[in-house]
Structure 1
Amino acid sequence: MAALAFPERVARRRGERAYLMAAGTGAELGDGSRLGGAPWLAVAVADRPVASASARVRLAAVTDEDTARVAAAALASEGEEVRWADGDVRARRVVRLGAIELVSRPLTDPDPELVRRALLEGLRREGTGLLRWSAQATAVRQRMAFLHRELGGAWPDVSDEALLDRADDWLGTELARARGRADLGRVDAGQALARLMRWATGEAARFEELAPERIEVPSGSRVRVDYGADRPVLAVKLQELFGWQEAPRIAGGRVPLLVHLLSPAGRPAAVTADLASFWKDGYRSVRAELRGRYPKHPWPEDPTTAEPTRRTNTRR
């Protein structure tokens, strides 16, 4: 009678004195209750103390699963559940009595749309780090972020939040094929980002021009630009820049590169965005400090007219 009167209070044991009611509310027996250990209860009276997460059972009767199923038949359901749980997609067919899970078994061929939603949920929870970010992919993302920051307009935002909001625009193909975390880990994020750039802006063809991956310096070397900081950095050995009066400007001439002038050991000897000023005022002190330490490398008195080189004096 209690189960029929209050089918939402049919409860299944989930701990020593803890139960879960069909309505989804937790319930606990009081100390010394003789109902402890009963697998099912039909709760007639319960209340919830202030600030308590669970209800307190005041009056209940022991029952069984068959009776609970009959009494709460209107709350019964069966269906596919595909969600992100424990770090991966979990697909099951579940029989429930309200919030109480009665039976579950794995699904071998879940609905692809449900899988896609679960994968998106996983990306929202754990971030785009679930994808495979090679050094090249990370560099492309940094270059895109630079153009979005400096030029805005049609250049897309590639922050985690923005990428997840537009996941279908750049990950749609991969999400349609993926079935779990391992599949996400095989997604080439750089290739997917390139798709987003093509769709997002008609200026994609100017990507290399506006945010070049490498810059050719006077010595002939093609040096990679680092876009990982707030300002793009060109780190190159000082001797390779002899004769260069002005640091290159990118983003359509809007942003000068910050030049890290490296010692022969590859450590920054000076940092400047104004090469002409450095050759005039700063080079003399750097030359005095490093010439004795690296005598095999050229340290001309006038770097503005000297021949740029990657080699030592001996090799030259």
Structure 2
Amino acid sequence: RWSRQAGKPSGADPLDDALLLAEAYPERVARARGKPGEYQLASGRGVYLEPTDALARETWLAVGELGGGDARDRILLAAPLDEDALRAAFADRLVAEDRLETSGGGKLRAKRLLRLGKLVVDEKIIDRPDPALIAGALADQVRADGLAALKLGERGRGLLDRVAFLRANDGEAWPDLSEAALVARLDEWLEPLLAGRSSLASLDEGTLEAAIKTLIPWDMQGRIEAQAPARFTAPTGSSFAIDYGAEGGPRVEVRVQELYGVAEHPAVAHGKVPLTLALLSPAHRPIQITKDLPGFWKGSWREVKVEMKGRYPRHVWPDDPASAAPTTRAKPRGT
């Protein structure tokens, strides 16, 4: 009726039923997803058809009528949409968007999406994405996931624990290298490392440790090893990592025979903080935990020695370990 009233046709291509519906209800343009009959509207809401419905095989629909539902609506009236015709008719309403995705190997890749509302009409991999876009996304990943997103390793974690120990014991002149502080200062130490990278996994622990060190004043960097050494060297020459994040203070696990001859308890922070010594048997099983090794030699060592001698008869168990020679070996056979 309206067509007759309008008179002579203008020459423009007439819209088919589906495009007329799409123009009337653009938020109800629907695209198939998942199982047959499952669709998503441009508004983002999920809708459905019976899988046996002939329209359930169509990729695109223009929906004219919906039946209400609690979680999703049922399509009661719709017409199949041609994708090319849809793209031509809605060209001015399609929005281009660049999006980053993480591949199985942890690398970021960029996609350029063409969207109609919440629906993706087209997507293409961007061969040469803007490096700044990738770097920003990697930094955002650390902001979201914290330092767990990085492979700090033993060296990086150890550095943070050592500085935290010094800050707690030597005053706030030492920088705050807590996780919250590091995440807040990513632009200073991490972001300069991200240029040209597509994955956080490509940052090794040595690179990360060096980057974190830039937040520590130069004069303080030299004091870290003097006041909070990373390792403890036993009289045997063996070296053991010091755990500065341990409950109860800096802790070392070491076989007790390697401490024979030690008459003064080892300490850090210029001798102010005694190490917690976790003394181990020859089989690396715990024997005793102490912050007073001379007291242990003079006290409960007698009972420990009897037990150890019974379990490990081929090892040396002196009566006076404070004056005995340290060792890493068992006694020769036949002795």
Q: TM-score range by the shorter chain?
A: 0.7 to 0.9
Distance 1:32 1:59 in 2: 15
2 CA distance for matches of 1:313 and 1:28? Answer: 76
The aligned counterpart of 2:131 is 112
Q: Does the C-alpha gap of structure 1 residues 313 and 85 become closer, same or farther in structure 2, counting only changes over 3 Å? A: closer
Residue 291 of structure 1, aligned match among 309, 312, 315: 309
Partner AA of 1:143 in structure 2: R
Aligned to 1:41: 61
Label 1:308 to 1:108 Cα distance change in 2 as closer, same or farther (>3 A): same
Name 1:195's counterpart in structure 2.
211
Distance 1:33 1:143, change over 3 A: same
> Out of 96, 118, 122, which is 1:103 matched to?
122
For the residues of structure 1 that align with 2:306 and 2:312, how far apart are their CA atoms?
Answer: 11
**Alignment TM-score, normalising by the size of structure 1:** 0.79
Aligned mates of 1:147, 1:47 — CA distance in 2? 67
SS of match in other structure, 1:27: strand
Structure-2 residue corresponding to 1:77: 95
Q: How does 1:303-314 map to 2 (within 5 A)?
A: 303-304=321-322, 306-310=323-327
Distance 1:251 1:100, change over 3 A: same
Please state how far the C-alpha of 1:297 moved relative to its aligned partner: 4.5
1:210 deviates by 2.6
Q: CA deviation at 1:107?
A: 1.1
Q: How far is the alpha carbon of 1:134 from its aligned partner?
A: 4.7
Matches of 1:63 and 1:146, distance apart in 2: 66
Q: How many residues align?
A: 308
- Range that drifts further, 225-234 or 5-14: 225-234
Deviations 1:4-31, CA, capped at 9 Å, x for gaps: 1222222222241122222333222257
- Distance in 2 (alpha carbons) for counterparts of 1:297 and 1:37: 79
Residue 272 of structure 1 and its aligned partner are, at CA, apart by: 0.9
Amino acid across the alignment from 1:37:
R
Given the alignment of the two structures, is residue 63 of structure 1 paired with residue 78 of structure 2, yes or no? no
CA distance in 2, matches of 1:300, 1:38: 86
Bigger Rg, structure 1 or 2: 2
Q: Which amino acid aligns with 2:201?
A: G
The CA distance in 1 between the partners of 2:189 and 2:161, in whole Å, is: 16
CA distance in structure 2 between the aligned counterparts of 1:165 and 1:84, rounded to whole angstroms: 23
Report whether the alignment pairs 1:208 with 2:228.
no
Deviation at 1:313, TM superposition (A): 8.8
The 3-state SS of whatever aligns with 2:77 is strand
Match of 2:187 among 156, 160, 168: 168
Q: Deviations over 1:14-65 (max 9, x none)?
A: 2411222223332222576553323322223335523x1x333233333322
| CA deviation map 1:190-243 (0-9, x unaligned) | 332332233145623221123212234445554432346323222333344345
Q: Partner of 1:262 in structure 2?
A: 280
2: CA distance between counterparts of 1:67 and 1:198?
58
Deviates more, 1:226-235 or 1:101-110: 226-235
Give the Cα separation in 2 of the matches to 1:80 and 1:313. 66
Q: 1:143 to 1:190 in 2, by over 3 A?
A: farther
Among 229, 233, 257, which residue is 2:246 paired with?
Answer: 229
For the pair 1:17 / 2:61, whether they are aligned, the reply is no
How far apart, in 2, do the equivalents of 1:49 and 1:313 lie? 78
* Cα distance change, pair 128–47 in 1 and its aligned pair in 2 (3 A): farther
Aligned match for 1:6, one of 16, 19, 25: 25
Matched, 1:29 2:49: yes
Q: Alpha carbons of 1:10 and 1:247: their partners in 2 closer, same or farther (altered >3 Å)? A: same
The AA in structure 1 aligned to 2:194 is L
Separation in 2, partners of 1:299, 1:31: 80
Aligned to 1:185: 201
Q: Residue 296 of structure 1 contacts residue 312 of structure 1 at CA under 8 Å; is this kept in 2?
A: no
Task: Find the aligned partners of 1:133 and 1:177 in 2 and give their Cα distance.
Answer: 20
> 1:39/1:286 Cα in 2 relative to 1: closer, same or farther (>3 Å)?
closer
Q: Show structure 2 runs of 5+ residues with no match.
A: 1-19
RMSD of Structure 2 on Structure 1 (CA): 3.3
SS at match of 1:35: helix
